Amino acid sequence: MFMSRVLFPATGFTTADAAKFYRAVAKYLLPHLRDVPVSFKRYPDTIDGESFWEKDAPSFTPKFVKTCAVPRRGGGADIRYIVINGIRTLTWLAEIGGIEIHPFLHRTTHIERARSVVFDLDPGEGASIVECCEVALLLRDALEGIGFTSLAKVSGSKGLQVYVPLNGDATHDVTEPFARLVAEELAKKYPKLAVAKMSKELRRGRVFIDWSQNADFKTTVSVYSLRAKRERPYVSMPVTWAEVESRRSLDFEPGEAVARLRRRGDLFRRVLTLRQELPRLHPPRSLDYARDDEEVVVHGIRLPKPKSQSGRRLFAMPKADELWLEMGGEFHRWLLRPGPIAVHAGKFRIEKSWYRGEEKALDIGAYEIIEGSFARRRFDLYFTGKTLQGAWVLEKISEDPKHRSWSFRPAS
């Protein structure tokens, strides 16, 4: 059991509050996550501190948490995505600060099949939720014109998403070009309001219709997921088309979201059951994406990649009395002394040769932040190395900002 800590300083909303929220909405949320691999955004401190995406299940993931092994496009060890099939896993995610849940559009049983097509409507500079609503309504009408029913939800951030339920055997190779075709045709028809190209310069005053979310490796924020985009917590909630037409404020804080669910039920349930078929299209060549870098394994330990979308970071012990920890793209150097004491001795740029496993070291591997930050003067860490393994605590000895000594000890 993790100790509760503040996630949103402006409101005092804590990890315990997040767990309470997810338990309250679990009845409605879990059917949407059943057997679906997810990525999640994790906050080891407050939302004002560091955050990162977790794709691979953290090394400290409990045994009761189900995972799904998915091959990497670039080869190497499979990615172990977490699958949220019960309240226990949902609670654990909230307790470790993994409050933003982003599922794939497929289930673990058929990762090639997309259960829905999604259009992510993102307002550019000078646009707002009002313009997103206008584009969503045009999108709804265009989809109805070719025989498709769609549903809408707010992202919990600035935008809105439109889903076309499928629940058949359509693959991502079909859904992605379909979404692109619809988005580009709509942008062509309403060029002052919408854009379907990725360039941010083109989005000013317009709404970007992001069709690329339908790629097999992309995720979209889950319905009923908390968001950490603003100083207060908001929830990604389904809305009726009448509410979209009203163009009124569509923000839902956790308490409002729970009350609305109890009053109206799951407005997104048709996403799970409605069957619709897409025409079969061939993906254009421009849908090719860059492949992952090759995986590096040293002494049986898989090294993290630079700028990896994961909580796994590089650590190295070049000699017995030094520990280097990757933080913010740099190595932070700690001098290990008896006590056990770790003296923070500055930071420096990481040479790529360390990621390639080309440098000599007593130990090298990956570590993960369970929780903590420099602001809290404590890090709870989990190491996966040849000799440095398991849970450790790095905690500052003094509150004096000039004091550089920390204790470094195995977690009790």
Q: pLDDT tens digits, residue range 40-89?
A: 999 999 999 999 999 999 999 999 999 999 988 777 788 999 999 999 99
Residue 289 CA: distances (Å) to CA of 54, 111, 284, 292, 391: 20, 18, 12, 9, 36
Q: How confident is the model at residue 280 (pLDDT cuts 50, 70, 90)?
A: low
Q: Is residue 1 part of a domain?
A: no
- pLDDT at res. 74: 73
Specify whether 43 is located in the same domain as 130: yes
Q: Is 183 a residue whose pLDDT tops 70?
A: yes
Give yes or no: residues 103 and 223 share one domain.
yes
Question: What local confidence, expressed as pLDDT, does residue 281 receive?
Answer: 52
Q: Is residue 52 part of a domain?
A: yes
Q: Say whether both 273 and 326 belong to one domain.
A: no
Element containing residue 243 per DSSP (H, E) = helix 241-246
Least confident interval from 321-325, 351-355, 399-403: 399-403
Is the pLDDT reported for residue 285 higher than 50? Answer: no
Contact 165, 115 (CB under 8 A): yes
Which residues are paired to 123 by β-bridges?
Answer: 207
Same-domain pairing of 304 and 283: no
Of 166, 28, 168, nearest in space to 90 by CA:
28
Amino acid making up residue 259? A
Specify whether 228 is located in the same domain as 314.
no
103 and 245 share one domain:
yes
| Percentage, residues of the chain above pLDDT 90 | 82
Structural tokens at position 84? 């949220």
**Residues 6+ positions from 91 with CB-CB distance below 8 Å:** 19, 22, 23
Computed over every residue of the chain, the mean pLDDT equals 92
203 to 121, 180, 243, 289: CA distances (angstroms): 11, 17, 25, 22
Confidence at residue 104, expressed as pLDDT on a 0 to 100 scale: 97
Domain count, the chain: 2
Whether 346 maps to a domain, the answer reads: yes
Q: How confident is the model at residue 287 (pLDDT cuts 50, 70, 90)?
A: very low
Give me the torsion for CA of 94, 99, 103, 109, rounded to 10°: -10
With respect to residue 292, please indicate whether it lies within any of the assigned structural domains.
Answer: no
Average pLDDT over residues 361-381: 94
CB atoms within 10 A of CB 107: 18
Residue 404 burial by Cβ neighbours in a 10 Å radius (0-12, 13-18, 19+): middle
Phi, psi dihedral angles at 101 (to 5 degrees): -105, 125
Q: How do residues 332-357 score in pLDDT, each as one tens digit?
A: 999 999 888 999 999 999 999 999 88
Task: Looking at the structure, tell me whether residues 270 and 341 fall in a common domain.
Answer: no
Give the pLDDT score at 309: 67
Residue 135 vs residue 290, higher pLDDT = 135
Whether residue 345 sits in one domain with residue 244: no
**Rounded alpha-carbon distances, angstroms, from residue 193 to 99, 129, 135, 160:** 33, 12, 7, 15
pLDDT at 73: 76
Q: How far apart are CA 113 and CA 106, in angstroms?
A: 6
Give the C-alpha separation, 51 to 332, whole Å. 18
- Domain carrying residue 302: 297-410
CB-based contact 81:37 (threshold 8 Å) = yes
Q: Give the residue among 384, 392, 387 at the shortest CA–CA distance from 367.
A: 384
**pTM of this structure:** 0.87
pLDDT at 28 over 80: yes
* Pairing, β 405-410 against β 341-349: antiparallel
CATH number at residue 58: 3.90.920.10
**289 has a pLDDT exceeding 50:** no
Distance from C-alpha of 161 to C-alpha of 133, rounded to nearest angstrom = 10
User: pLDDT at residue 286 above 60?
Assistant: no
Can you tell me the distance from the alpha carbon of 263 to that of 185, in angstroms, rounded to the nearest whole number?
38
Selection from 220, 286, 218, 222 nearest residue 73 by Cα: 218
